[in-house]
């Protein structure tokens, strides 16, 4: 009897614990599998594409979807919403196959058949995969989150990683009074902060080896095996969905790879086959009237390696340009013109001097080129912030000085912030509250892409901190450098305004950030321009 009682007690306790853990997982639901996120109770960190994208398409309110591989991760949903007048979600699959992406779209449309727009990149590097290919190097795909089988949900409900690394942290943060909410679709999977751009980055391996591009006599062409795989992939994972949902407009594009990518294809004898693959893909897609298929031969952009962080990945300003081009229907291919696009592509890269890429100017500030492109994207003229503008700003521990970089006006900052060395208040909050050496001003940046400036220190402790805040002091973006990393030469800097709209407060501080710095610290900002 004692053994039986013990066994019943043990099973009861175990079952109770299982029920409690399952109930907590269902309630908090970090992967949003069962319900909308409780953003008023917890903070949902969206950072697991495979596990969270399906919950997003099931439980969020939207009428547009942005999806694709890492080539779509830098799209700003807020920008899509403004330009297309919609409410969008972003659900990318980094390195994902066409099937992975299409399967999630199938679920989204089955739940929400009134979706107006789907914006999707069709990567050339994935187009010749088998139609049922799934990425395997990230571990087993969490199909239990995608199917309708309630029994295999045990893989989620009793998942140690979900419980310890997600739920407990979310609950502890909520109990300690930390902010609630959710990662924005502008920031979700955005990798811009981890990338550098320009030919020194893109061509790094060739620069290290000290060799240029070499031509080859080998020429590979598209064969029947490739064509069969491509047709199966496109028909199953691209066009069938458009046929099934004729009232949805599908904005598809082939991500524009860099000239350096085409140089490597030339070396491998693979260029012609790549172009033939694009032509075959387009021939299968363009007859579908509710698919707006886009490709561009903007070689001024795609040959400029300042737009790229590697052979294929472009800066988020190119994502913005793509959205603007789609809205204008610029670059749309049809049965009447897609071969013209192919002929131009072939003519350009078959005759391109790829070794000229080594001679390109590599801009010191990566985001500078985004500002140059903003005129085309939004039609906004740059705004120079000169002495007359500075006179209208709040100036503290600084003077307006003339004839600085390229004879432009500047702000000479001196001294240190009054912030104590052991202050618990952040540097940014102190700056927003009025503790700075430089200028502070409020301006509407809705139609600008970046703030560009030149700067240099004039004494050993001179350094810069430029921060952008919303109207209540929340930090939106920031760039800074320690005085030990700076010299007394002029350098170009740029801070991104992408995804930031309306009036913001900008503080340009050139003083040391606490009283441990030298009171003789001096730093100059000059040639300050909003692009």
List pLDDT tens digits, range 234-293. Answer: 999 999 999 999 999 999 999 999 999 999 999 999 999 999 999 999 999 999 999 999
Q: How far apart are CA 303 and CA 313, in angstroms?
A: 13
Taking the domains of the chain in order of start, what are their residue ranges? 2-182, 195-362, 377-530
What pLDDT digit, counting tens, does each position of 365-374 carry?
A: 999 999 999 9
Residue showing tokens 């793509």: 322
Give the whole-angstrom CA distance, residue 204 versus residue 268.
Answer: 18
For residue 406, which of 306, 496, 529 has the smallest C-alpha distance? 529
Residue 142, pLDDT score: 95
pLDDT at 7: 73
**pLDDT tens-place string over residues 195-237:** 999 999 999 999 999 999 998 988 999 999 999 999 999 999 9
pLDDT of residue 6: 75
**What topology is assigned to 377-530 in CATH?**
Jelly Rolls (2.60.120)
pLDDT of residue 13: 79
CB 510 within 8 A of CB 463: yes
For 440-472, b where at least 16 C-beta lie within 10 A, e where not — what string? bbeeebeebbbbbbbbbbbeebbbbbbbbbeee
- Tokens standing for 80? 């899509």
pLDDT single digits (tens) 397-440? 999 999 999 999 999 999 999 999 999 999 999 999 999 999 99
**% of the chain with per-residue pLDDT over 70:** 99
Taking the chain (531 residues) in runs of 10, the rounded mean pLDDT of each run is: 72 83 97 98 98 98 98 98 97 97 98 96 95 90 94 95 96 96 98 96 95 92 96 98 97 98 97 98 98 98 98 98 98 98 98 97 96 94 97 97 97 96 94 97 97 94 95 96 94 97 98 93 97 97
Quote the pLDDT of residue 1: 61
């Amino acid at each position: 009897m004692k053994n039986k009682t013990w066994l019943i007690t043990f099973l009861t306790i175990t079952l109770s614990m299982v029920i409690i853990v399952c109930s907590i997982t269902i309630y908090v639901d970090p992967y949003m599998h069962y319900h909308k996120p409780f953003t008023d109770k917890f903070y949902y960190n969206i950072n697991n594409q495979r596990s969270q994208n399906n919950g997003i398409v099931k439980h969020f309110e939207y009428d547009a979807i942005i999806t694709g591989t890492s080539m779509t991760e830098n799209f700003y949903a807020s920008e899509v919403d403004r330009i297309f007048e919609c409410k969008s979600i972003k659900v990318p699959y980094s390195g994902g196959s066409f099937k992975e992406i299409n399967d999630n779209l199938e679920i989204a449309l089955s739940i929400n058949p009134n979706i107006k727009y789907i914006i999707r990149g069709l990567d050339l590097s994935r187009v010749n995969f088998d139609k049922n290919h799934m990425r395997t190097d990230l571990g087993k795909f969490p199909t239990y989150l995608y199917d309708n089988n309630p029994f295999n949900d045990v893989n989620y409900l009793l998942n140690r990683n979900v419980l310890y690394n997600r739920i407990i942290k979310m609950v502890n943060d909520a109990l300690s009074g930390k902010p609630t909410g959710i990662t924005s679709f502008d920031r979700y999977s955005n990798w811009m902060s981890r990338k550098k751009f320009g030919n020194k980055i893109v061509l790094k391996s060739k620069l290290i080896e000290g060799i240029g591009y070499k031509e080859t006599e080998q020429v590979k062409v598209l064969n029947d095996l490739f064509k069969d795989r491509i047709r199966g992939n496109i028909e199953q994972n691209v066009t069938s969905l458009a046929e099934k949902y004729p009232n949805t407009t599908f904005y598809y594009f082939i991500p524009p790879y860099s000239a350096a990518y085409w140089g490597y294809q030339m070396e491998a004898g693979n260029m012609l086959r790549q172009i033939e693959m694009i032509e075959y893909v387009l021939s299968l897609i363009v007859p579908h009237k509710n698919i707006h298929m886009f490709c561009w031969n903007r070689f001024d952009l795609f040959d400029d390696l300042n737009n790229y962080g590697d052979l294929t990945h472009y800066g988020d300003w190119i994502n913005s340009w793509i959205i603007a081009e789609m809205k204008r229907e610029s670059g749309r291919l049809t049965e009447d013109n897609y071969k013209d696009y192919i002929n131009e592509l072939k003519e350009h890269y078959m005759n391109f001097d790829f070794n000229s890429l080594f001679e390109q100017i590599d801009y010191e500030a990566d985001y500078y080129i985004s500002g140059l492109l903003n005129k085309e994207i939004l039609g906004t003229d740059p705004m120079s912030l000169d002495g007359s503008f500075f006179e209208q700003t709040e100036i503290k521990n600084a003077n307006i000085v003339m004839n600085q970089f390229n004879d432009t006006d500047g702000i000479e900052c001196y001294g240190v912030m009054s912030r104590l060395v052991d202050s618990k208040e952040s540097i940014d909050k102190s700056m927003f509250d009025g503790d700075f050496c430089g200028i502070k001003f409020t301006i509407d940046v809705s139609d600008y892409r970046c703030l560009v400036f030149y700067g240099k220190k004039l004494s050993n402790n001179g350094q810069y901190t430029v921060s952008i805040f919303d109207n209540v002091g929340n930090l939106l973006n920031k760039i800074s450098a320690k005085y030990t990393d700076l010299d007394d030469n002029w350098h170009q800097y740029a801070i991104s305004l992408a995804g930031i709209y309306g009036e913001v407060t900008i503080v340009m501080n050139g003083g040391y950030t606490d009283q441990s710095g030298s009171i003789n610290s001096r730093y100059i900002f000059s040639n300050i321009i909003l692009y």
